[in-house]
Amino acid sequence: MSTPPLPAFVDSEVLKALIEDKTKVPGKDYLVIDVRDEDRVGGHIPGSVNIPSKQLPDQLPALVRQYADVPQLFFHCALSQIRGPKAAARWSEAVTERGGDSSSIKILRGGFGDWQRKHKDDKNLVEAYEAEYWIEDY
């Protein structure tokens, strides 16, 4: 069996449009999977589920079954450089092994760090925002 292609990165505007479309339901029409671990502080994307990257390998088969009917999955971590892409790739491989189509699996470019920079002032796009967490030390 061949390895599926790596999931594609998408810009935040793609996900933003889905969240703002009130005809779309998180968990049914799309799902945001936040794989941050202890660093999931300072805010999150509304409707996202937190599946810490450390727990994902053990939970993966059950999660792939649970969310099999969700047509669009968006993965992210803090920066979407390591954990988010790795989780998306593992998920994609598990979907393909089950005979499914993994083309609906995407990675949020820039992760939550970029998302909060762009959308921190919109309570419809960031929940539990803690500004002091995002203050940069120089």
Tens-digit pLDDT profile for residues 9-63: 999 999 999 999 999 999 999 999 999 998 898 899 999 999 999 999 999 999 9
Query: Percent of the chain having pLDDT more than 70?
Result: 94
pLDDT tops 80 at residue 74: yes
- Taking the C-alpha atoms of residue 45 and residue 56, their distance in angstroms, rounded to an integer, is 19
- Within 10 Å of residue 103's Cβ, how many Cβ atoms? 13
Q: Which of the four CATH numbers 2.60.120.260, 3.40.250.10, 3.40.50.720, 3.40.640.10 does domain 8-120 have?
A: 3.40.250.10
pLDDT tops 50 at residue 110: yes
pLDDT tops 90 at residue 113: yes
Q: Where are the domains of the chain?
A: 8-120
Q: How far is CA 129 from CA 72, 99, 121, 125, 134, in A?
A: 25, 39, 9, 10, 9
Active site residues: 77
- Taking the C-alpha atoms of residue 72 and residue 26, their distance in angstroms, rounded to an integer, is 10
Q: What is the pLDDT of residue 81?
A: 96
Q: What is the mean pLDDT of the chain?
A: 92
Q: No. of H helices and E strands in the chain?
A: 4, 5
Residue 137 — pLDDT band, cuts 50, 70, 90? low
Q: What is the pLDDT of residue 138?
A: 45
Q: What is the pLDDT of residue 41?
A: 86
- 41, 11, 136, 40: CA torsion to nearest 10: 10
Residue type, 119: H
